[in-house]
Amino acid sequence: MNKTIRFMQGNEVCAEAAIYAGVNFFAGYPITPSTEIAESLALRLPESGGKFIQMEDEISSMCAIVGASLTGNKAMTATSGPGFSLMQEALGYAIMAEIPCVIVNVMRGGPSTGLPTQVGQGDVYQTRYGTHGDHAIITLTASNHADIFRMTIEAFNFAETYRTPVILLLDEVTGHLREKIEIPEPGKIPLVKRLRTAVKAGVDYHPYLPREDGRLPMSDFGDVHRYNVTGLYHDMWGFPTTNPPVVYGLIRHLVDKIENNTPRITRFRKYYTKDADTLFISYGASARSTLHLVENRRKRGENVGLLELQTLWPFPAEIVRDACSKVSLVIVVEMNMGQIAKEVKLAVNNPENVFLANRIDGELITPTDLRNTLRVIQGKGV
Amino acid sequence: MEKCRLLFSGSGGQGVITAAILLGEAAVRYESLNAVQSQSYGAEARGGATKSDLIIWDQPIYFPKVNQPNILICLTQAAFDKYIFSIRPGGTLVTDARFVKNPGLVDARKIELPFHDTVMEKIGKPVVLNICLLGGIIRLTGLVRLESVGALIKDRFQPSFHDINLKALDLGYELMDRQEAGG
């Protein structure tokens, strides 16, 4: 028996990956279908010297991880749609105050309490636009356990690299699914350490003064430097300001630090795309059904391919445009009313060739659903 | 190998989900195979018809649900009534005569075995019914070795439960062995 090979739920894999990435603080409130992440970390964090807190709700959970991160910890929370709605205010605060943290949203059917135990992918826009005001965000996703492991670590790495909250957007199917995972040896996947200031105690530290490369070294709050943190527009000291050039500079910085690094943040997988004339684009559990169909069609000699997106935001428009440039048909597969399909249409040169294959009844979209959609689009009937 | 799609069904508390997880875990950790397992959640998982999907294959498995099982296991009449029409033509139906009456006409091989009565007679604790069933499924499919699941039971269960579960596993295996040998 190989000890590093495990048979686990996707949510448990996410928790293991967070431990691998060095998480040492989790605050959350249990909600289906994300609860196994909290359960696993309640077991694992005390073993590694970390802290697990079950809070009174998701508002306080989000606030707690923001505070924990500011004081120098790697912090995360996990929830589902209804809880993620409650987290939006403090998420905006973390974006504005540039506090690294990871929020896992294991999607169920929505809106509202929706379908607690069933699958949906309706929160794609919520991760992007859920909190108010102009901002950029990083949203990652995954369709299998090896990728859940990798993307969880990427989420922590991006959070530290760009000093921003990162959303890991999973779904009920991948979260609850048990499958094989080989846990990588410690040190095999690089981890990004927090960039801490070199300014010594007793010397003025400017928490919001970017270095030449645009990054902002942090100082653990409550340690040797005194500084202010606020959700208001602020100057390099962290104090509130309405000075237009400073306001302009901050909003530009918040958006540019992510949007300008889109190629560095973009993660995706390509299957049989080189000679494809029909290209599927999908993510999360939907991508599993799509890959099932693509593998079967390839065996029959049909030129179909799959572009699986793992970074949803910032939307990898160039990758999508490039992948779609030589195909006659693009089918976006997702379990919502076409949230990524709309982005694909905006990105490509021929949006009239982009179709949506979706399922919105709480059940996982099947290869048969896709086969039927494909036939209808091709004019062959169901 | 052929892709093996199993659907374990019964009522909440019978342990059909645990049986599916053990079989999948043994396939992955001891036999170097791939497996994906999922289960029904919600109200139905707490008393009504509950089910677990398990696919075992030596190739990558993408779509994880079992719509048409090769092997359908039903431990209650309600589960049988709900899932019998999903069975793949030519598949195998495994039931316990105590729970499922007159399986009737289906395009499948029918195996009816007294898992419950055997457990009650030889062990006296209905809690190990699922492990007895699992022993039978191991013999039927030949996907994993009996020792692999035995090792998993020792790894996962409290020591005080090892003996009765290992005994139940053997009982189920022998039941199916007699069935398969006798035809």
Strands A101-109 vs A115-119: parallel, antiparallel or unpaired:
antiparallel
**Do A178 and A292 belong together in one domain?**
no
Domain-located, residue A210: no
| Domain termination site, one of A182, A217, A242 | A182
Which candidate from A33, A295, A366 shows the least CB-CB separation from B67? Answer: A366
- Name the residue in chain B with its Cα closest to that of A291: B62
What is the token pair recorded at A172? 């009920």
pLDDT band at B103 (very low <50, low <70, confident <90, very high): confident
Residues on chain B touching A32 (C-beta within 8 angstroms): 41
Q: What's the domain count of chain B?
A: 1
Asked whether the beta carbons of residue A117 and residue B42 sit closer than 8 angstroms, the reply is: yes
Choosing among A180, A333, A372, which should be mutated to test the B contact, i.e. which has the most B CBs within 10 A? A180
Residues on chain A touching B21 (C-beta within 8 angstroms): 7, 178
H-helix or E-strand spanning residue A28? strand A25-28
For residue A96, give Cα distances in angstroms to A155, A240, A246, A322: 18, 12, 13, 33
Residues on chain A touching B30 (C-beta within 8 angstroms): 1
B47 has pLDDT over 80: no
- Please provide the size of chain A in residues: 382
H-helix or E-strand spanning residue A295? helix A284-299
Asked whether the beta carbons of residue B64 and residue A1 sit closer than 8 angstroms, the reply is: no
What is the token pair recorded at A293? 């169909």
H-helix or E-strand spanning residue A41? helix A35-47
Closest approach of A181 to chain B, Cα-based (Å): 9
Asked whether the beta carbons of residue A366 and residue B61 sit closer than 8 angstroms, the reply is: no
| β partners of residue A170 | A106
Q: Which segment of A7-16, A206-215, B7-16, B36-45 scores lowest on mean pLDDT?
A: B36-45
Q: How far apart are alpha carbons A290 and A308 in whole angstroms?
A: 9
What's CA A260's distance to the chain center, in Å? 18
User: Residue B163: phi, psi to the nearest 5?
Assistant: -60, -45
**Do A301 and A161 belong together in one domain?**
no
Before B69, cis peptide (omega within 30)? no
Domain-located, residue A26: yes
Closest approach of B63 to chain A, Cα-based (Å): 5
Three-state SS string over A194-242 comes to: CCECCCCCCCCCCCCCCCCCCCCCECCCCCCCCCCCCCCCECCCCCECC
Domain with B73 in it: what CATH number? 3.40.920.10
Q: Report the Cα–Cα distance between both ends of chain A, in Å, rounded.
A: 47
Asked whether the beta carbons of residue A7 and residue B28 sit closer than 8 angstroms, the reply is: yes
Which chain A residues touch B if contact means CB-CB below 8 Å? 1-2, 5-7, 32-33, 116-118, 173, 176-180, 288-289, 291-292, 295, 364, 366-368
Amino acid B49: pLDDT: 77
Amino acid B44: pLDDT: 55
DSSP string for residues in A48-69: TT-EEEE-SSHHHHHHHHHHHH
Asked whether the beta carbons of residue B41 and residue A117 sit closer than 8 angstroms, the reply is: yes
pLDDT band at B12 (very low <50, low <70, confident <90, very high): confident
pLDDT tens for chain A, residues 1 to 382: 556 899 999 999 999 999 999 999 999 999 999 999 999 999 999 999 999 999 999 999 999 999 999 999 999 999 999 999 999 999 999 999 999 999 999 999 999 999 999 999 999 999 999 999 999 999 999 999 999 999 999 999 999 999 999 999 999 999 999 999 999 999 999 999 999 999 999 999 999 999 988 899 999 999 999 999 999 999 999 999 999 999 999 999 999 999 999 999 999 999 999 999 999 999 999 999 999 999 999 999 999 999 999 999 999 999 999 999 999 999 999 999 999 999 999 999 999 999 999 999 999 999 999 999 999 999 999 8
Average pLDDT, chain B: 93
Q: Report the Cα–Cα distance between both ends of chain B, in Å, rounded.
A: 23
Domain that holds residue A326: 270-377
| Domain termination site, one of A160, A182, A204 | A182
What is the token pair recorded at B30? 């001891």
Helix (H, G, I), strand (E, B) or coil at A366: coil
Tokens 């290992």 map to which residue?
A: B166
- CB distance B23 to B149 below 8 Å: yes
Closest approach of A271 to chain B, Cα-based (Å): 13
Q: How far apart are alpha carbons B45 and B17 in whole angstroms?
A: 10
Cα dihedral A328/A334/A337/A341 (nearest 10): -40
DSSP for residue A234 = B
DSSP for residue A269 = E
Domain with A332 in it: what CATH number? 3.40.50.920
Q: How far apart are alpha carbons B179 and B83 in whole angstroms?
A: 24
Helix (H, G, I), strand (E, B) or coil at A307: strand
What's CA A140's distance to the chain center, in Å? 3
Q: Helix axis angle, A10-21 relative to A35-47, nearest 10°? A: 40
- Name the residue in chain A with its Cα closest to that of B152: A1
Domain-located, residue A166: yes
Amino acid B42: pLDDT: 58
Domain-located, residue A190: no
Amino acid B13: pLDDT: 86
Strands B49-57 vs A268-271: parallel, antiparallel or unpaired:
unpaired
Amino acid A136: pLDDT: 98
Those residues whose C-beta lies under 8 Å from the C-beta of residue A304, and which sit 6 or more positions away, are A272, A276, A277, A278, A279, A280, A293, A294, A297, A298
**Do A288 and A174 belong together in one domain?**
no
Sign of CA dihedral A283, A285, A288, A290: negative
**Do A281 and A174 belong together in one domain?**
no
Domain-located, residue A239: no
Asked whether the beta carbons of residue B62 and residue A289 sit closer than 8 angstroms, the reply is: yes
- Name the residue in chain A with its Cα closest to that of B41: A117
Q: What's the domain count of chain A?
A: 2
Closest CA to A138 of A32, A267, A46, A48: A267
Domain that holds residue B110: 4-182
Strands A354-358 vs A138-140: parallel, antiparallel or unpaired:
unpaired
Classify the complex by whether its ipTM is higher than 0.90, answering yes or no: yes
Residues on chain A touching B58 (C-beta within 8 angstroms): none
Q: What is the mean pLDDT of residues B37-59?
A: 82
| Domain termination site, one of A164, A182, A200 | A182
Asked whether the beta carbons of residue B62 and residue A33 sit closer than 8 angstroms, the reply is: no
What's CA B114's distance to the chain center, in Å? 14
- CB distance A37 to A11 below 8 Å: yes
Domain-located, residue A128: yes
Domain-located, residue A55: yes
Predicted TM-score (pTM) above 0.95: yes
**Do A31 and A175 belong together in one domain?**
yes
Domain-located, residue A151: yes
Closest approach of A333 to chain B, Cα-based (Å): 14
Before A263, cis peptide (omega within 30)? no
Q: How far apart are alpha carbons A270 and A334 in whole angstroms?
A: 17
